[in-house]
Structure 1
Amino acid sequence: MTAAPVLLSGTVRMGARTLFPPLRLELAPGRWTALLGPSGVGKSTLLRLLAGLPIGGTFEGRVENRPPVALMAQDPALLPWLTARQNAALGARLRGEAADRDRLAAVLRRTGLADHGDKPPAALSGGQRQRVALARTLMEDRALVLLDEPFSALDARMRLAMQDLAAELLRGRTVLIVTHDPAEAARLADRIFLMTETGLTEEVAPACPAPRPPADPAVLACQGALLTRLTEAPACA
């Protein structure tokens, strides 16, 4: 696991436009950090920078102490010619390794996909495809896990269940989750940042351990405060 904070500092330009001004984001080792903000402000770009992926712009800055990364993007990006089970084990396949069968079976069962493992992506619902992408991420043994709206296609009941499962299976990992859901951030995060066109602002997360009950007073208070801050934030051009 990561022994030092992962640190991203700098700015990004898209042509003549500054996507976001100089900022500094520190991810505490073994903790969950949530990032919220208006669409288009650069949250997914930050994830791609942390993952070492192209961003379609110019990054003037640096990423320090980046360990091996697992990334779950907004698009499930499942391979249509593979089954759900094969897609979940894709990381091992690409490395030329045999997937851990027991772990794979457990992850598929815990994500509610045990009866759908032999189906191709076209035979799955949108929520099921997102759960396959989550299972694929959970199968990777990585110290840094980047989640880009990982539960957005799930219904309320399944969303809570998958939040709890991710919190359990990613315990001890350094996790950054990008979300538009204040309740999700309030339930899961040890640190919460709001990203706007002016940069990053840290918000107060509930003090109790995550994952927190959705009706916990501290969670509801945090959710309300975040929602207020988000509605006050200017929309991106």
Structure 2
Amino acid sequence: MSDADIKISIRNLYKVFGDDPLPALQHVKDGMGKTELLETHNHVLGLNDINVDVPAGKTTVIMGLSGSGKSTLIRHFNRLIEPTAGEVWVDGENILEYNDKQLRHLRQHKMSMVFQKFALFPHRTVLQNAGLAPSIEGERESKYADEARKWLDRVGLYGQGDQYPHQLSGGMQQRVGIARALTSNSDVMLMDEAFSALDPLIRTDMQNLLIELQAELQKTVVFITHDLDEALKLADHLVVLKDGLVVQQGEPQHILLHPADPYIEDFVSDINRARVLRVRSVMDRTTDVSGDHAGEIDHDDTLESVIALSEGDTKLSYRVIKNGAPVGVLNMRKLVRALVPSEQSGDPESARRSG
């Protein structure tokens, strides 16, 4: 990525929680891990030398198990948490150098946040909650109402503006939270476990809504989750944390096909690879698609859909098309090999790491 493609850049970021974090930080830099730091110095290592670039106009998903540091990390993006060391660059400026006025402007105009617990004001109507950002700026409801109503309609809450949060379901309340973020007109949306408290069917609806909105608006979204299926569905760029460390980051399809660590291998081992992997990740790239093929498929089709199309015939191959132009060939035998996790498929590098 060029500098122009990067919206947020995290550099050498550390966070140590405790009464005297700077001496504890030196122990971390000397190689001490999270468990030992807590046992010997009674300090908690939240983040350990994080380096992440967030691409502009894309969805970056930060995932990990409980205690991995993902929620701590996202709160550094808008300085809700101050780091022990490191830099946070937004649009080419290190926000750790911001004064209070600049920081308020960042939070009110550049970054909006959608929380797991909705964080709606119970005494405000749905419309007033959606228009929170302009109301904080002193705008009257009559001035921001049309903009707030537009986004409420867009997230599926047409006609709900006069309701109060307690009159809405959990899924509807989270839609208000998304409408509020959109009404603020910020470039960046920070979403901390935004869908994890929702029922599975509602959660799927919200994921689909976010994908639909992102295709239209191309915001810079940073999304926190502990759910790999959700991460793979939403992410353009995936960052996996463990114990405050970045274990692997990159394009989700690449991580799934090429896990860099046994921890990642464990994470992806139970994934339905046919449902998640796309044709573009396993095809042979070529513009010469001459020859006898069973038909055409799109580069973004899932392998599951190709298996259904081929009726499981491994002797077939397909021309791969992107935007009407040929970009590759997919052989069904190669597709089948991609469905087997690397440590089971004879990948010598994976076998070396596991052994």
The alignment's TM-score, normalised by the length of structure 2, stands at 0.54
Q: Does 1:7 align with 2:20?
A: no
Contact kept? 1:33, 1:176, Cα under 8 Å: yes
Higher alpha-carbon deviation: 161-170 or 39-48: 161-170
Select which of 49, 63, 67 maps to 1:36.
63
Instruction: Return the offset for 1:4.
Output: 5.0
Partner AA of 1:53 in structure 2: L
Tell me the distance in 2 between the aligned counterparts of 1:181 and 1:220: 21
Match for residue 162 of structure 2? 118
- Ranked by relative contact order (alpha carbons within 8 Å, sequence separation 6 or more), the top structure is 1
Select which of 231, 237, 249 maps to 1:202.
249
Contact kept? 1:33, 1:191, Cα under 8 Å: yes
Select which of 50, 55, 58 maps to 1:23.
50
Tell me the distance in 2 between the aligned counterparts of 1:112 and 1:91: 20
> Are the structure 2 counterparts of residues 203 and 26 from structure 1 closer, same or farther at C-alpha, using a change threshold of 3 Å?
closer
Tell me the distance in 2 between the aligned counterparts of 1:18 and 1:217: 35
Q: Does 1:183 align with 2:185?
A: no
Contact kept? 1:51, 1:71, Cα under 8 Å: no
Higher alpha-carbon deviation: 134-143 or 67-76: 67-76
Instruction: Return the offset for 1:216.
Output: 5.2
Contact kept? 1:8, 1:24, Cα under 8 Å: yes
Tell me the distance in 1 between the aligned counterparts of 2:244 and 2:176: 36
Contact kept? 1:34, 1:179, Cα under 8 Å: yes
Q: Does 1:129 align with 2:193?
A: no
Over aligned residues, Cα RMSD in angstroms?
A: 2.9
Q: Does 1:97 align with 2:97?
A: no
Larger Rg: 2
Contact kept? 1:110, 1:165, Cα under 8 Å: no
Instruction: Return the offset for 1:192.
Output: 0.7
Match for residue 239 of structure 2? 193
Partner AA of 1:28 in structure 2: P
Identity of aligned residues (%): 33
Instruction: Return the offset for 1:203.
Output: 5.1
Partner AA of 2:63 in structure 1: L
Instruction: Return the offset for 1:198.
Output: 5.6
Match for residue 235 of structure 1? none
Please list the CA deviations of residues 133-157 of structure 1 after superposition, one character each: whole Å capped at 9, or x if unmatched. 1221122211121111122233344
Contact kept? 2:62, 2:238, Cα under 8 Å: yes
Please list the CA deviations of residues 3-53 of structure 1 after superposition, one character each: whole Å capped at 9, or x if unmatched. 452111211001122222112111011111111101122211111110121
Select which of 106, 120, 123 maps to 1:78.
120
Please list the CA deviations of residues 68-100 of structure 1 after superposition, one character each: whole Å capped at 9, or x if unmatched. 211112221111110111101111111123554
Select which of 181, 185, 203 maps to 1:141.
185
> Are the structure 2 counterparts of residues 220 and 18 from structure 1 closer, same or farther at C-alpha, using a change threshold of 3 Å?
farther
> Are the structure 2 counterparts of residues 84 and 199 from structure 1 closer, same or farther at C-alpha, using a change threshold of 3 Å?
same
Tell me the distance in 2 between the aligned counterparts of 1:35 and 1:18: 18
Structure 1's unaligned 5+ residue stretches are 208-213, 226-237
Partner AA of 2:253 in structure 1: P
Compare the two structures and name the one with the higher helix fraction: 2
Match for residue 109 of structure 1? 153
Match for residue 84 of structure 2? 59
Q: Does 1:88 align with 2:130?
A: yes
Instruction: Return the offset for 1:118.
Output: 1.7
Instruction: Return the offset for 1:190.
Output: 0.8
Instruction: Return the offset for 1:206.
Output: 3.4
Contact kept? 1:134, 1:150, Cα under 8 Å: no
Match for residue 234 of structure 1? none
Contact kept? 2:233, 2:276, Cα under 8 Å: no
Contact kept? 2:236, 2:251, Cα under 8 Å: no
Q: Does 1:164 align with 2:189?
A: no
Tell me the distance in 2 between the aligned counterparts of 1:65 and 1:216: 32
Tell me the distance in 1 between the aligned counterparts of 2:187 and 2:136: 19
Contact kept? 1:79, 1:87, Cα under 8 Å: yes
